[in-house]
Amino acid sequence: MLVRAPFAVFALSLAVSCAAPYAPRGYDDDRAFLREHTTVHELRSGTGAVLVCPELQGRVMTSATRLDGPGLGFVNRPVVAHPDPDAAFANYGGVERFWLGPEGGPWALFFDADAPQDREHWRTPEDLHHGGFAVTARDDRRVVMERELAVTNALGTRFDARVRRTVEAPPRAEVAAALGDERALLLPWTAWRSTTTVTNVGNEPWTEDGGLVCAWMLGMFRAGERTWAVLPFRPYPAEGYEDAPPVLADYFGEVPPDRFRIGPDFAVLKADAGAVGKAGVLRSRARDRVGSYDPDTGVLTVVVFAPLERAAPYLVEHWGWDVAPIPEGDVVNAYVHGGPEPFYELETSSPALRLGPGESHAHVQLVVQVEVRGDDLDRLLRTALGVDPAEYRRLTTAPRPGAE
């Protein structure tokens, strides 16, 4: 999510509300705007397209299921046009960006040593804040980008890394497999696959003694008045974690029950930008996907990622110096910004990266967006997210607590 909301960070009260402008701009309008301010590579995929902007930290900035349809990503035009060099985070937006985690905890990258882990002291590491990726290869189907960067955690450990990002339009068969239904490709859709490879280019191994980092992928999508993020989870806990909740929703205070609900094998988080909130599925319960649905646009978003390594440690993304940084950490998250920018995030994380000098880890994710309603939606909720459609409707239409 952003830091656990980089902006979540900027509005910690779950009661904060905003009048979010839900109507997105057209995709062609977003494309024209971005071309005025940065280099844009368009990849046609399905019936739509995606826009990759290497100079904006290698982001995928927006997408569309139809070229004449709305842009589905949050594009923060004031920041793109006039970034503030002194801001804690240059929030350009974008449906996919690369960061390193953890945000907080004793191995924090986003807080200085001994500083309180609160919104006042949160800041983005310089090399995750500024600096573009160099394009090393491109064609009509892919863009390959690379850069070197360095971050230092609260223990004083420096991580020198080379990051290589390949963003490409995936084959139809791969998209159909992710959705579990080839018929879905008769509908308007788009998709992209990213492979983000992190290499230790320093002279020392990355170990628990100095703290570890992970690859953290975050996508900002435009909020909708009736949009819900969907977080599938394994219905049965792993041995040793029987008492752990299947989904956490206490990152910035507990999310109230009118905005967060848990079913037998998935949870939903209201993604309307009406209040700050975040939910996360930890290693023992995580599945290899997360998604969202906006009934007003009819767009179902499905994010599928790999690898999910249940024997490897994952980093905990809660703030606080006293949290245990591993092993039962965050694998997938959804974050809802409380305004004024109207966006929510779908996030995935790699295992903690124990890399020796010259060693690499690749985090791969496939993002599919398809316009779907009615029986088609019911079918894809089952096949793509493993969600029972009747239970989904019950959770997302349940009355507010105390309502008659």
Phi, psi of 176 (to 5 degrees): -60, -40
Strands 360-371, 299-306: pairing is: antiparallel
In a domain, 404, yes or no: no
Confidence of residue 275 (pLDDT cuts 50, 70, 90): very high
120: in domain = yes
Question: What CA–CA distance (Å, rounded) separates 370 from 379?
Answer: 13
Assigned domain for 307 exists: yes
Q: Does residue 1 fall inside a structural domain?
A: no
Bond before 102 cis per omega within 30 degrees? yes
Q: What is the pTM of this model?
A: 0.93
User: pLDDT averaged over the chain?
Assistant: 92
Chain mean position to CA 158? 25
Q: What is the pLDDT of residues 61-85, one digit of tens each?
A: 999 999 999 999 999 999 999 999 8
| Domain range enclosing 105 | 8-397
Asked, for residue 3, whether it belongs to a domain, the answer is no
For residue 21, what pLDDT is reported? Answer: 54
Handedness of CA 249, 338, 104, 309 (dihedral sign): positive
The tens digit of pLDDT for each residue in 99-129 reads 999 999 999 999 999 899 998 999 999 999 9
Q: How many domains does the chain have?
A: 1
Task: Read off the tokens for 214.
Answer: 């992970």
402 is a domain residue: no
Tokens of 127: 């090399």
Residues 252-262, mean pLDDT to the nearest whole number: 95
Q: What is the CATH number of the domain that holds 332?
A: 2.70.98.10
pLDDT of residue 241: 85
- Three-state DSSP class for residue 178: helix
Who's near 351: CB < 8 A, 6+ residues apart? Answer: 214, 307, 309, 312, 313, 314, 361
pLDDT in tens, 131-165: 999 999 999 999 999 999 999 999 999 999 999 99
Q: What are phi and psi of 271, to 5 degrees?
A: -115, 55
Quote the tokens at residue 26.
């057209």
2 in a structural domain = no
pLDDT of residue 270: 98
- pLDDT of 4-27, one tens digit each? 333 333 333 333 333 345 777 899
Q: Residue 403 falls within a domain, yes or no?
A: no
